[in-house]
Structure formats: structure tokens, C-alpha cells
């Protein structure tokens, strides 16, 4: 089944922004140094298998599990 993106220009821009934010989150997970190595895998699985909630949870709590640079 193909996901519904919408017909209006605003809906398409919003969907494109969400996809960009999703990709940026995955890049941030791969490029970060975590306190425990298993945290990277757990966050990646959460973001990939539950995209909407996973991305929001990562930006709310996941970034605090990283080692500051």
C-alpha cells in the first residue's frame, strides 16, 4: 500500500520535511558517540521500526545518552 502524501502543496512540503528530519536523525545516531555501544543499536531500531514516535523520543531523550564532545 502506498502512503497517502496529500494533494496540497503544504502537505507535500510537510511530508518532505518529515523525511528529511528522519534521515537527519539516523545520521545523528550513526555519527554520535554513545556512553554505551548498545544504545546506538537500540535507538536505531526504535527510529527505524517506529518512525514517528522513535524520532521524537530520540530528540527528547536519546541525545542525552551521548558522550559530550
End-to-end distance of the chain based on CA atoms, in angstroms? Answer: 43
What is the Cα–Cα distance from 18 to 12, expressed in whole angstroms?
10
Do residues 66 and 34 make contact, with C-beta atoms less than 8 angstroms apart? yes
pLDDT-derived band of residue 21, with 50, 70 and 90 as boundaries? very high
Q: Count the domains in the chain.
A: 1
2 in any annotated domain: no
4 in any annotated domain: no
pTM score over 0.95: no
Give 37-54 pLDDT, tens digit per residue.
899 999 999 999 998 899
Closest-CA residue to 47 (of 18, 9, 15): 18
3 in any annotated domain: no
* Boundaries of domain holding 25: 9-65
Amino acid at each position: 500500500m502506498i502512503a497517502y502524501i496529500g494533494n496540497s502543496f503544504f502537505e507535500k512540503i510537510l511530508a518532505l520535511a518529515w523525511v528529511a528530519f528522519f534521515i537527519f536523525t539516523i545520521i545523528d545516531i550513526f555519527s554520535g558517540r554513545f556512553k554505551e555501544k548498545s544504545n546506538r543499536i537500540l535507538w536505531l531500531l526504535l527510529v527505524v521500526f517506529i518512525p514517528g514516535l522513535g524520532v521524537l523520543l530520540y530528540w527528547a531523550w536519546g541525545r542525552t545518552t551521548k558522550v559530550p564532545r
